[in-house]
């Protein structure tokens, strides 16, 4: 009995309170008690039993400890699980739950305090939280009945949440031991899934119902997908497209280009491109497509890709483009037509005007009554006015066409101002007003600029000033504003004491065809072009112009121009007033097809006692030149049979005749004048000509007695002022290697000869493309050899021959280039000798 008590004590000491209440333990202890009785006789056996029990107990305790640890682990895991967990035993008593479960079902209890509670009523209590409470209850009952696991069943909650429920029955040796319920909040997941599905659907809808073609091709260019629009526009069904290459649709003419384009995209992996081409539909219709193509890699790790294309029908746009292009060409043509119209008009109007002015001039020399004199005087003024209008219109159109380029010559401003004074003083005198000038002595004697145009500006301003001034007078004042080593900025102010202008009118003053009011033009005459031309000329000279005016007080126009300083030694009065005019007995050949013009000239020459012979065209002139000797030939340009240019060339080259030839031209365009000089003429005079100017010109070319006056002055000037070529760059490059220079010179000679032959035969064959190419090629040789006199011309030739419209200009340029290069070729061989 004593031992029994000790044992009891021993055992209970090792047991927890929970285990002590455990019926199985109680049974175990009773068993031991019972065995103790049977063993009590044998002390030794009892001790063995005792020791054995102790061992069992220790082992059990260790297992208990392990279990506790495991339980602890599981509890922690469950508590922190992102799902609500609740476990119940076979009697529906709660074994365990976690905070998440309480939170999900808004249970205001701590999870631990729920252990042992009855769970059987939970479905009823929570059903209101579910959107479909009745089916919820029914499902729970079904689950409990069948006791089979059902995982991840989604339930919708009243408040919009979604719970995923898992039912897991627990069996121990096939005996049902309870249930584990797991609830997970999958609201976010469901929402994302729904959104994804919706957007996918949206995209599908968009693609299906898009108004543009959307398709995909694989890396070989075979169609892999096409939307209904693609089917509709191409006329091919999806099944047909699947067997096609994207290029099968493209208009054969454009196919190669398109395929190359997309090969490029693929090769360079360009992510996005845009390209336009026409396709041919199943029905054979051409449809223009503008498509952007995305290159997209299918897999980052491989090179496999597809092309996704979005294409729109741009047929309408293309049609419009073509129409636009056509109308642009038309507009271009119209503008060209306008240009040539103006050029022709210039000729057509000037020729009869020449006759009118000439005839009036002759009439004035006769004895007239006072009335007749007045009539003639008026006619003369009117015809001169008409001439000035035509000149102005021509100037403006030249400026607009960009034809007007400025000369860069040495001139004296003082001289120009004096020229203007002498022209205008007569008119000022008539009106009884003064006209005077002040030119600052600081202004450089020689300036570089376009003297004619500077005088034109002055004439416009002074002419206006005189026109609008009735009392007082006009002052021209030239002052130096700024000076650098190379340049001088000069202000030329033309002030009058005339009618003045309103301030608001000053704004419009430089616009074309504007005068202060319509009555002004009736009262004072004029086209309103003068100031516009002045303004444009100032722009060309990079100058400024401004105006100050007060009504009834006067107006001051000031122009500001920067000139480069020139060299006074270059200035030679072309028309010296001191020039002695003596053309008596000068033998003149007048080549002119217009009878009236011949008559006009004849009259003039008779007046000066010249001996005049006439020819009616170039051929006629050639015959006359062969038979007779002349001191000067006056040559019209446009003539039937043979024109003046051809005739001049023949006189110079075939007849080897050096008689001075002066062109009589109605065309004041610079290119025309160039052509004349090119053909071998010495000078020109534009029709209608001023009698004195013509006489002076003749006198200058026929006064052989005066030494030092070169006959072919024009050509000489160009030769002196411009070096034919410049070997300096070549020499610098050679670093003293004469063989290199010689080689280059020889090369230049050979190449240029070939090029000239090529260009000339191309010109004969009207092969402008070749001309363009050869010009392009020649250009760099000309540049490198510093043949600066035709640098501009060779470029002009290349440009013009691209679109061969201005054929005479092209011919003239070729002629000029030929003659210049021939001269160069003549001189160059001597350079080789020099180098040796």
Question: DSSP H helical segments within 366-468, as ranges?
Answer: 370-400, 413-431, 451-467
Burial class (CB in 10 A: 0-12, 13-18, 19+), 462: buried
Burial class (CB in 10 A: 0-12, 13-18, 19+), 447: buried
Shortest Å, Cβ 250 to other proteins: 19
Shortest Å, Cβ 264 to other proteins: 9
Round to whole Å and give the CA distance between 25 and 21: 8
Q: Which is nearer to other proteins, 651 or 730 (by Cβ)? A: 730
Shortest Å, Cβ 409 to other proteins: 24
Shortest Å, Cβ 256 to other proteins: 12
Q: Which is nearer to other proteins, 400 or 783 (by Cβ)? A: 783
Stretch that binds other proteins, among 207-215, 488-496, 691-699, 740-748 (CB under 8 A): 740-748
Q: Which is nearer to other proteins, 582 or 831 (by Cβ)? A: 831
Among 19, 514, 784, 788, which residue interacts with other proteins (rule: CB under 8 A)? 784
**Regarding beta strands 587-591 and 632-636, do their DSSP bridges make them parallel or antiparallel, or are they unpaired?**
parallel
Rounded-to-5 percentages of helix, strand, coil across the chain = 55, 20, 25
Q: Which is nearer to other proteins, 313 or 831 (by Cβ)? A: 831
Q: Which is nearer to other proteins, 53 or 781 (by Cβ)? A: 781
Phi-psi region of 402 (alpha: psi -120 to 50; beta: other; left: phi over 0): left
Q: Which is nearer to other proteins, 624 or 776 (by Cβ)? A: 776
Q: Which is nearer to other proteins, 71 or 733 (by Cβ)? A: 733
Residues 470-499 that bind other proteins (CB under 8 A): none
Give residue 483's Cα distance to chain centre.
Answer: 39
In this structure, what are the phi and psi dihedrals at residue 8, rounded to the nearest 5 degrees?
A: -55, -45
Q: Which is nearer to other proteins, 355 or 730 (by Cβ)? A: 730
Round to whole Å and give the CA distance between 658 and 631: 10
Q: Which is nearer to other proteins, 360 or 744 (by Cβ)? A: 744
Shortest Å, Cβ 460 to other proteins: 33
Question: DSSP H helical segments within 703-806, as ranges?
Answer: 713-721, 728-734, 738-764, 768-784, 791-802
Of 234, 373, 372, 214, residue with least CA distance to 307: 214
Q: Which is nearer to other proteins, 457 or 778 (by Cβ)? A: 778
Shortest Å, Cβ 810 to other proteins: 18
Burial class (CB in 10 A: 0-12, 13-18, 19+), 739: exposed
Shortest Å, Cβ 769 to other proteins: 11
Shortest Å, Cβ 635 to other proteins: 36
Q: Which is nearer to other proteins, 640 or 729 (by Cβ)? A: 729
In this structure, what DSSP letter does residue 581 have?
Answer: P
Token pair in block for residue 155 = 């339930």
Residues 744-783 that bind other proteins (CB under 8 A): 744, 747-748, 751, 773, 776-781, 783
Among 25, 105, 510, 740, which residue interacts with other proteins (rule: CB under 8 A)? 740
Using alpha carbons only, what angle is made at residue 421 by residues 607 and 545, rounded to the nearest 5 degrees? 130
Shortest Å, Cβ 662 to other proteins: 37
| Residue found under tokens 């044992």 | 7
Burial class (CB in 10 A: 0-12, 13-18, 19+), 479: middle
Residues 710-739 that bind other proteins (CB under 8 A): 730, 733-735
Stretch that binds other proteins, among 305-313, 511-519, 743-751, 813-821 (CB under 8 A): 743-751
Q: Which is nearer to other proteins, 313 or 783 (by Cβ)? A: 783
Q: Which is nearer to other proteins, 318 or 773 (by Cβ)? A: 773
Angle between helices 791-802 and 768-784 (to 10 degrees): 160
Round to whole Å and give the CA distance between 746 and 83: 97
Q: Which is nearer to other proteins, 120 or 746 (by Cβ)? A: 746
Q: Which is nearer to other proteins, 643 or 758 (by Cβ)? A: 758
Q: How many CB atoms lie within 10 A of CB 197?
A: 10
Q: Which is nearer to other proteins, 25 or 261 (by Cβ)? A: 261
In this structure, what DSSP letter does residue 118 have?
Answer: B
Phi-psi region of 92 (alpha: psi -120 to 50; beta: other; left: phi over 0): left
Q: How many CB atoms lie within 10 A of CB 424?
A: 19
Among 132, 147, 191, 743, which residue interacts with other proteins (rule: CB under 8 A)? 743
Round to whole Å and give the CA distance between 346 and 335: 16
Shortest Å, Cβ 790 to other proteins: 16
Residues 261-280 that bind other proteins (CB under 8 A): none
Cα-Cα end-to-end distance for the chain: 148
In this structure, what are the phi and psi dihedrals at residue 767, rounded to the nearest 5 degrees?
A: -95, 85
Asked if 792 interacts with other proteins (CB under 8 A), we say: no
Shortest Å, Cβ 784 to other proteins: 6
Shortest Å, Cβ 743 to other proteins: 7
Shortest Å, Cβ 257 to other proteins: 11
| Residue found under tokens 């301030």 | 503
Shortest Å, Cβ 191 to other proteins: 47
Shortest Å, Cβ 755 to other proteins: 9
Round to whole Å and give the CA distance between 83 and 167: 13
Round to whole Å and give the CA distance between 263 and 245: 13
| Residue found under tokens 């160069």 | 824
Round to whole Å and give the CA distance between 448 and 418: 18
Shortest Å, Cβ 322 to other proteins: 22
In this structure, what are the phi and psi dihedrals at residue 316, rounded to the nearest 5 degrees?
A: -60, -45
Of 483, 474, 354, residue with least CA distance to 421: 474
Is the C-alpha dihedral spanning 730, 731, 736, 739 positive or negative? Answer: positive
Q: Which is nearer to other proteins, 441 or 736 (by Cβ)? A: 736
Size of the site for other proteins (CB under 8 A): 21
Shortest Å, Cβ 753 to other proteins: 12
Contact residues toward other proteins (CB under 8 A) are 730, 733-735, 740, 743-744, 747-748, 751, 773, 776-781, 783-784, 795, 799
């Amino acid at each position: 009995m004593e031992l029994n008590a000790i044992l009891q004590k021993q055992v209970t000491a090792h047991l927890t309170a929970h285990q002590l209440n455990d019926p199985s333990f109680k049974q175990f202890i009773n068993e031991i008690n019972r065995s103790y009785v049977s063993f009590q006789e044998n002390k030794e056996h009892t001790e063995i039993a005792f020791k054995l029990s102790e061992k069992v107990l220790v082992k059990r305790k260790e297992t208990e400890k392990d279990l506790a640890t495991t339980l602890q682990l599981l509890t922690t895991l469950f508590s922190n699980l992102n799902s609500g967990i609740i476990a119940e035993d076979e009697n529906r008593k709660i074994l365990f739950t976690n905070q998440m479960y309480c939170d999900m079902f808004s249970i205001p209890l701590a999870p631990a305090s729920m252990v042992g509670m009855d769970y059987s009523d939970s479905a009823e209590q929570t059903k209101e939280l579910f959107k479909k409470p009745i089916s919820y209850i029914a499902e729970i009952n079904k689950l409990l009945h069948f006791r089979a696991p059902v995982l991840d069943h989604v339930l919708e909650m009243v408040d919009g949440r979604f719970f995923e429920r898992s039912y897991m029955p627990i069996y121990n040796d096939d005996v049902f031991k309870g249930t584990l319920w797991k609830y997970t909040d999958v609201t976010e997941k469901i929402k994302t899934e729904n959104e994804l599905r919706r957007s996918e659907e949206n995209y599908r809808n968009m693609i299906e119902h898009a108004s543009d073609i959307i398709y995909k091709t694989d890396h070989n260019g075979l169609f892999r997908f096409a939307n209904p629009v693609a089917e509709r526009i191409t006329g091919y069904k999806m099944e047909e497209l699947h067997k096609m290459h994207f290029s099968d649709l493209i208009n054969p003419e454009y196919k190669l280009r398109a395929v190359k384009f997309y090969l490029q995209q693929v090769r360079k992996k360009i992510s996005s491109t845009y390209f336009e081409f026409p396709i041919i539909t199943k029905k054979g219709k051409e449809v223009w497509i503008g498509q952007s193509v995305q290159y997209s890699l299918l897999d980052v790790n491989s090179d496999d890709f597809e092309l996704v294309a979005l294409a729109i029908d741009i047929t309408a746009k293309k049609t419009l483009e073509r129409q636009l292009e056509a109308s642009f060409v038309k507009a271009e043509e119209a503008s060209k037509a306008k240009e040539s119209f103006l050029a022709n008009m210039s000729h057509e109007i000037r020729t009869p005007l020449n006759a009118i002015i000439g005839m009036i001039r002759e009439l004035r020399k006769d004895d007239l009554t006072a009335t007749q004199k007045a009539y003639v005087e008026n006619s003369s003024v009117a015809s001169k006015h008409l001439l000035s209008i035509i000149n102005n219109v021509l100037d403006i159109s030249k400026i607009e066409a960009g034809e007007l380029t400025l000369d860069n010559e040495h001139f004296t401003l003082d001289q120009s101002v004096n020229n203007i004074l002498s022209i205008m003083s007569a008119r000022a005198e008539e009106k009884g007003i003064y006209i005077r000038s002040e030119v600052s002595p600081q202004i450089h004697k020689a300036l570089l600029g376009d003297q004619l145009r500077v005088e034109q500006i002055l004439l416009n301003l002074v002419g206006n000033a005189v026109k609008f001034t009735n009392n007082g007078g006009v002052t021209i004042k030239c002052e130096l504003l700024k000076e650098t080593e190379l340049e001088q900025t000069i202000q030329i102010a033309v002030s009058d004491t005339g009618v003045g202008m309103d301030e608001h009118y000053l704004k419009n003053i430089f616009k074309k065809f504007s005068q202060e009011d319509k009555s002004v033009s009736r009262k004072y005459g004029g086209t309103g072009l003068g100031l516009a031309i002045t303004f444009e000329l100032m722009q060309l000279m990079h100058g400024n112009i401004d105006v100050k005016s007060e009504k009834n007080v006067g107006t001051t126009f000031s122009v500001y121009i920067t000139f480069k300083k020139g060299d006074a030694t270059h200035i030679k009065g072309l028309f010296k007033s001191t020039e002695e005019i003596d053309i008596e007995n000068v033998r003149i050949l007048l080549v002119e097809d217009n009878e009236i013009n011949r008559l006009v000239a004849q009259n003039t020459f008779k007046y000066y006692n010249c001996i005049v012979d006439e020819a009616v065209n170039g051929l006629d002139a050639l015959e006359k030149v062969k038979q007779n000797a002349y001191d000067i030939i006056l040559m019209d340009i446009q003539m039937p049979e043979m024109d003046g240019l051809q005739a001049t060339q023949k006189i110079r080259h075939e007849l080897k005749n050096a008689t001075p030839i002066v062109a009589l031209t109605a065309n004041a365009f610079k290119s025309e004048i160039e052509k004349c000089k090119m053909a071998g003429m010495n000078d020109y005079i534009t029709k209608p000509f001023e009698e004195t100017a013509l006489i002076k010109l003749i006198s200058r070319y026929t006064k052989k007695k005066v030494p030092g006056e070169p006959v072919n002055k024009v050509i000489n000037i160009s030769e002196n002022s411009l070096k034919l070529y410049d070997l300096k760059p070549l020499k610098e490059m050679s670093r003293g290697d004469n063989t290199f220079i010689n080689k280059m010179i020889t090369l230049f000679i050979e190449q240029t000869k070939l090029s000239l032959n090529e260009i000339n035969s191309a010109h004969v064959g009207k092969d402008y493309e070749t001309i363009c190419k050869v010009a392009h090629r020649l250009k760099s040789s000309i540049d490198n050899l510093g043949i600066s006199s035709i640098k501009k011309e060779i470029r002009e030739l290349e440009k013009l021959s691209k679109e061969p419209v201005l054929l005479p200009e092209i011919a003239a340029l070729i002629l000029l280039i030929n003659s210049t290069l021939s001269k160069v070729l003549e001189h160059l061989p001597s350079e080789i000798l020099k180098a040796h």
